[in-house]
Structure 1
Amino acid sequence: MNNKAVILGCNYYIGLSTIRCLGVHGIHTVAVDYTEKGAYGAKSKHCSERLIAPHYKKETKKFIRFLINYAREQSAQPVLIPCHDSYVEIIDEHLEELKKCYLIPQTEPGLYTKLMNKETLHQIAQEKGVNVPETVRVNEENFMEKVENNIKFPCLVKPVDSPTFVAKFRKKLFKVHNKEELIAALDRAKNASLEVIVQRIIPGFDDHMYTYDAYLNQDSKVTHWLTCQKYRQYPINFGASVYTGQKYVPELHEIGAKFFEEIGYKGFAEIEFKKDAETGQYYLIEINVRITNINQLLYKVGVNIPHITYQDLTGSPVAPKAIEEDTDVRFWCGYEDMYAIRDYIKTRQLSFQTILKSLLFKPKAYAIWDWKDPIPAFSNAGMITSKIFKRLIHFKK
């Protein structure tokens, strides 16, 4: 195992999980961040090496040069694994030069970006016959009329460029209930120089959200896959997973595998679907083209995506595998789920009894905690405590 694994972004539990999934197999892991502050993933006992790089956005050229220089110093090409959308965008932009010294699954420059971009993703999905929510572009003729008659209120104002939108507004989208709120949301996006689209809300509670997680080899064939069902998100209704279970839904494989193979995708990706509560049809909501929040769940049920990626790129592919049964294992991010539970109960979308039952009687894949590797959890707890203390001090003032 001369090839090191370079993990970009370890200040969140996605990077931590990636490091652990590789480290348990004795792979040399390299945690890369632009600051030591908050990077609790690098404190895992499975982290072999830690690097502080120039900021990926503020100093992009220096960041790319840093990565290239590091790779050239190694005896074998490292495997490059981004754990945040912003890192994916940078890799996609510089894919051709990075592939000269790193092992990266994707070979088509721009494909990651096309799938992350809501507008181009919807065009590709429609071309491949995959359902997507009805959408109106802001610059279309009779825009407001189409929203009121075809999309209808309430509806969603969603960004074309999600990472930039989330960084600006700390949320994934705007939900608007009338014409006035829509205009206000469009103005906010325009003032931030962000392009948005308006989309119909697919009916159904948060447990109508599903994922199709798959790995495709260098021949663009699905070799590993499983499906999951979301139960709680934060922010509620339109947020990231905080409580999700593995659930076998073969129909999602039929849709997802065909889509990925037809577009020539390589590596890991996750499609988020929503099942229409009225028609039963599945709609493609978005695609994640990097390791996701629920990676620890995938690992616990037997699909170790970071290791599968590493082995495939270094010439020792792992035998194909699919989870074609219900294991009932649940991913749980306790801290963020506390806020979600508060809001679900406050809005009367879930009862306390239902939530308590889910917490007590289901096997868990924890986002951060691991008895065999506790330091990252202690580090993260210290960060949370510090934030709470600062808020209390500010409140008293």
Structure 2
Amino acid sequence: MNINSKKDVCPNKAVVLGLGVNGLGVARSLGKNGVQVVGFYQSKDTEIARLSKYVKSIKYVSKDELLHKLLMLGREQSKSVLFCTSDKYIQFVLDNKEKLEKLFCYNWTEVDLYRKIIDKGKYLALIELLNIPHPKTITFFEGGIDLENKINSLQCPCIVKPIIAEKNPIIGFEKNRIIYTKEELVRFVKINSKNLASILIQEIIQHDDNDILYCTGYVDHQGVLKALFSVQKIRQYLPGYGVTSFAVSKKNNEVEKLSRRALNNIGFKGLFDIEFVYDNKNEQYQYIEINPRTHLANSHSTDCGINLPIIAYNDFIGVSNCSEKASNQTENVYWLNFDNDIGSFYRRREDGDIVFIQWLLSILRVRSFAVFDRVDLLPFFFSSWLFLLKALFRVIGR
């Protein structure tokens, strides 16, 4: 059966955990190809894929409720394919492996590796396995290690990252924190001495947003790289150290070579995205991170001819699909997440990096969107309504 025909409806459903922009892209990529999609969400405001015509959405409040509803769903039908859209859902699935693996298709054999990837505390062990260039990084797990020597080994500026993104006792509302001088770093470590095991600190490679490139793709159960999609970031939010807001499809042989090497070195299987930054000083690409899941901008690859969710789905249910190749991405297709990019624009404008006409002309080139889809408009209308409300409240609050 070729499930890529819109007329076919596959008996194996897909279950998407998380219905934000990431989940919306996954649901559309699957739903447009005849796959029935069930999605789980918590927030009515941010998880706009709950409104997509391709999703049967189910709300949950707690992890226990999510597990209960998943088990009920799994017992009612043939094995569904699980898609995790964030690290917290990967952690949830791995924590409940014994209960879920008999009812759902997932990369259950990769549990230990996935734990190592999503636990930033094991970053040093992971990059040793990856064996690719990377920025100097320190963690604070090792007992008996001289803190002063560790701090002195770093060059500033540097970036502080939480070990677990959802549990960040130091950094507050921002995902990451930038430290610009050695004196500031010493003060930071002293003030937060009780929480150092919750973070890692990494030297910053000076770069512009468009120096960041990433590859996203899928390695099947036999270890064969079925698809690879290369992207150059143009803007991100927050600028410098955030998530993609504006990007373009662009093959890069060096980044693809490093990605293949890293995946082979750790024996990775499943969906992934792996990110690099170009180090102008040393004239090489340096590894930033790898995620064992769908990428936030997964709709971009689908719009460029590489439907990663359907490739993964086919592999899980045993359908051979030879129509997708790693080398056939459409080049120079621009992708936009408007909500994030307007934030990036305002931040960059404050720094004098961009003016309104530059930003406007850039987004006029967009042909791939995070939210807008002319045949699935409700998520776009809802997202636009929320954006206008927030803008109105800001104006009133001035």
* TM-score relative to the length of structure 2: 0.89
Could you say what secondary structure the match of 2:38 adopts? strand
* Whole-angstrom distance in 2 between the partners of 1:359 and 1:343: 17
Aligned equivalent of 2:285: 282
1:155-199 per-residue CA deviation (whole Å, 9 max, x = no partner) reads 111222234339972322110122453245446766668611221
Aligned equivalent of 1:151: 154
Q: Is the 8 A contact 1:32 1:52 kept in 2?
A: yes
Aligned equivalent of 1:367: 370
Question: Identical aligned pairs, as a percentage?
Answer: 25
CA drift at 1:381: 1.8
Could you say what secondary structure the match of 1:127 adopts? helix
* Whole-angstrom distance in 1 between the partners of 2:161 and 2:139: 10
Instruction: Return the letter of the residue paired with 1:123.
Output: A
Aligned equivalent of 1:9: 18
Correspondence list, 1:119-130, <5 A: 119-130=121-132
* Whole-angstrom distance in 2 between the partners of 1:343 and 1:50: 34
Residue 57 of structure 2 is aligned with which of 45, 50, 57?
A: 50
Please say if 1:300 is aligned against 2:303: yes
Between stretches 108-117 and 231-240, larger displacement belongs to: 108-117
Structure 2: runs of 5 or more not aligned: 1-9
User: How has the CA–CA distance of structure 1 residues 127 and 108 changed in structure 2, closer, same or farther, with 3 Å as cutoff?
Assistant: closer
* Whole-angstrom distance in 2 between the partners of 1:321 and 1:378: 34
Q: How many residues align?
A: 386
Aligned equivalent of 1:94: 96
* Whole-angstrom distance in 1 between the partners of 2:316 and 2:190: 45
Between stretches 258-267 and 224-233, larger displacement belongs to: 258-267
* Whole-angstrom distance in 2 between the partners of 1:136 and 1:29: 41
* Whole-angstrom distance in 1 between the partners of 2:377 and 2:370: 12
Could you say what secondary structure the match of 1:232 adopts? strand
Aligned equivalent of 1:318: 321
Instruction: Return the letter of the residue paired with 1:359.
Output: I
Could you say what secondary structure the match of 1:220 adopts? coil
* Whole-angstrom distance in 2 between the partners of 1:38 and 1:21: 20
CA drift at 1:237: 0.5
User: How has the CA–CA distance of structure 1 residues 208 and 43 changed in structure 2, closer, same or farther, with 3 Å as cutoff?
Assistant: same
Aligned equivalent of 1:21: 29
User: How has the CA–CA distance of structure 1 residues 243 and 36 changed in structure 2, closer, same or farther, with 3 Å as cutoff?
Assistant: closer
Aligned equivalent of 2:5: none
1:188-214 per-residue CA deviation (whole Å, 9 max, x = no partner) reads 766668611221111221111110112
Aligned equivalent of 1:327: 331
User: How has the CA–CA distance of structure 1 residues 353 and 384 changed in structure 2, closer, same or farther, with 3 Å as cutoff?
Assistant: closer
* Whole-angstrom distance in 2 between the partners of 1:15 and 1:166: 27
Q: Is the 8 A contact 2:131 2:265 kept in 1?
A: no
Instruction: Return the letter of the residue paired with 1:243.
Output: F
* Whole-angstrom distance in 2 between the partners of 1:165 and 1:25: 39
CA RMSD of aligned residues (A): 2.5
CA drift at 1:240: 0.6
Residue 172 of structure 2 is aligned with which of 169, 172, 175?
A: 169
1:242-281 per-residue CA deviation (whole Å, 9 max, x = no partner) reads 0111111112222212222332222110001111012221
Aligned equivalent of 2:137: 135
* Whole-angstrom distance in 2 between the partners of 1:379 and 1:167: 34
* TM-score relative to the length of structure 1: 0.89
